Amino acid sequence: MFQSPFRGLGFMDIKYYIFLSVALFVMGIIGVLTRRNAIIIFMCIELMLNAVNLLLVAFSKMHHLAAGVANPNAGSEAQLFVFFIMVVAAAEVSVGLAIIVMLFRNTHSVDVNFLNRLKH
Amino acid sequence: MNALIFSAISGVLMMFSGFVLKSNAAIRTLAHILLLAVIIATAFELRGVPFFHINTTGMLQFDHFALLFTLIASLSTLVFFLLSSKDMEKVGVSYAEYFALIFFVLSGVVIASSFQSLLLLFLGIEIISIPLYILTGSDKRSLKSNEASLKYFLMGAFSTGLMLMGIALIYGATGTFSTTLIQAPKEGVPVLLSTGMLLLLFSLSFKVSAAPFHFWTPDVYDGAPTVFTSFMATVVKAAGFIAFMRLFSDAFRDIGSEWKLTVAIIVAATLFIGNITAVFQQSVKRMLAYSSIAQAGFMMLAVYSLTAEAKEGLILYGAAYSLATIGIFAVLIKMKDYTFDGFNGFARQQPLIAATLVIFLLSLAGIPLTAGFLSKFFMLKATVAAGNIWLAVFAVIMAAVSVYYYFRLIQAMYFKEGNVPAIEVSPAFKITLISVAALTIVLGIYPNLLLYWLYF
């Protein structure tokens, strides 16, 4: 079995968090590369960002426990980072949806295969 | 800090000026004044007079390298405003907002050139990118512009995802976001750190359009309104390289064995693909897009070698490349026909402008006595000093290839017969163009005029 530094403390091993968020991240990447609908691609990108959020929070807890009582603030910066990711993702969503709506008005489609027209 | 605060406030002011000022000329004047204030504030800080004393807890570091690049970026933006701001009127009705977005990009450039924490790297790159998605799609009725902005947005958001995963993995391995505190343990580089570093390398290569992550560049640069392509291809690209350089020299210098080979392959691929594809282009705008990829390969040599000389070279390269490309684009915007044939006989109609274009093209090709030559020279010298002669030889061969497509434009202007539709240029436009061309030559003879400021 996995040797956990937190065994007996009631915490799950960090490996499981890494596996979970890498799995979510890879699902996002596969979605971006294979889907043709702009909105679904967009959802997959959000999935990638949220996988990162999960990983950051898990690492934050890990570093906090590792630092012990010596530094009660250890690991808090990763949780702040998560808030910044959320804010920037929201800004990106507002711009991205506006772009998709603009494209839909002109082409009546959100299919990214339309994009190949730029290549003469 | 001065430039950051001034440019952010300028952006907000420009946003609201659309309500108050009704004439485009007034909006344009206001934008010029605000940009001048940004430049003066940056110059003051470079001379050791910061207006604000804010404790950033080591997240931002306004050293001479960052301040000098900020100054160059804002001066290039001023040149861009002087030459092309009138042409922004043709893009759409939201004239004041375009200026606001450009100021926001500029504040992102300041953050991206002075960060010392991965958090600020992420924020800087995003503050640069998000306004650019809007500017790319600002020609709302043109299908090409729509497609370019959607493509840019999807690619940009995807590479942001990669960057964040890289940052998270580095945090997991080292427990810090500060670029100066990232250290590999003695017994070896942890796999989390090297994976995270590679993800950061790939996502930044996306942003600066280095091969094989360059495929969005020609389409986006071609589809975006030409005025904004001019800004995207110059100031923003140079800022991406400054961020790249800062990150790798602060954080990953010690684990060079992990990434040197990958970066060398990226440099060679970028130089090869950019130069060879540019040869086959028929449109000058698309040729400039590929030429920006080719120049990115050269700038990436600085990231490869990471010496003090490479830093100087990158600053000079950023200035030389931005000035020359903004100048060429400023003339291109005024042309009706963007193909090479559209320039046939241009020298007979506009001898003065054609002569300045020749200087810009020579600078891009790296002919001696221009700033482009010395910046390429610095890069090659740093690469040889870093011990990779073959990469330098390959870069020289590719620079020779680049002469072909730059000289093709000169040939079209001077040695081919044709009737260019008359373009209207103001005397101010001509004077600015000539002074930028003069600056290109002066920097090619006395580069220390610029590099001096790195140390004093």
Encode pLDDT of B320-374 as tens digits.
Answer: 999 999 999 999 999 888 999 989 989 988 899 999 999 999 999 999 999 999 9
Which of B158, B169, B223 lies at the smallest CB-CB distance from A118? B223
Domain ranges of chain B: 2-454
AA identity, residue B138: S
- Using CB atoms, pick whichever of A29, A56, A117 lies closest to residue B168: A56
Which of chain B's residues have a Cβ under 8 Å away from the Cβ of A42? 154, 157
| Nearest-by-CA chain A residue for B146 | A103
Phi, psi of B208 (to 5 degrees): -95, 5
Predicted local distance difference test score (pLDDT) of residue B276: 95
Interface touch B154/A42, C-beta < 8 Å:
yes
Q: Most A CBs within 10 Å: which of B160, B182, B221, as the mutation test of the A interface?
A: B160
| B165 closest CB neighbour out of A52, A75, A96 | A52
Nearest CA to CA, how far is B166 from chain A (Å)? 9
Contact A52 B168 (CB under 8 A): yes
Are A77 and B219 a contacting pair at CB < 8 A? Answer: no
Nearest CA in chain B to A41: B154
**Is B116's pLDDT higher than 70?**
yes
- Kindly state the DSSP code that residue A108 receives in the 8-state scheme: S
User: If you average pLDDT over every residue of chain B, what do you get?
Assistant: 93
Interface touch B165/A48, C-beta < 8 Å? yes
Of B266, B283, B281, the closest CA to residue B395 belongs to B266
pLDDT of res. A3: 46
Q: How many CA atoms lie within 13 A of B146 on its CB side?
A: 25
CA–CA gap between residue B66 and residue B59 (Å, rounded):
13
Q: Can you tell me the distance from the alpha carbon of B169 to that of B401, in angstroms, rounded to the nearest whole number?
A: 40
Contacts of B388 (CB under 8 A, 6+ apart): B264, B304
Candidates B4, B123, B9, B102; CA nearest to B62 is B4
What's phi and psi for B60, nearest 5 deg? -120, 140
Interface contact A103-B151, CB threshold 8 A: no
DSSP code of A118?
A: G
Residue pLDDT, tens place only, B41-66: 999 999 988 899 899 888 999 999 99
**Would the pLDDT of B141 be above 60?**
yes
Average pLDDT over residues B263-273: 96
Looking at residue A117, the DSSP 8-state letter turns out to be G
Q: Determine, for residues B177 and A49 on separate chains, whether the beta-carbon distance falls below 8 Å.
A: no
* Interface predicted TM-score (ipTM): 0.91
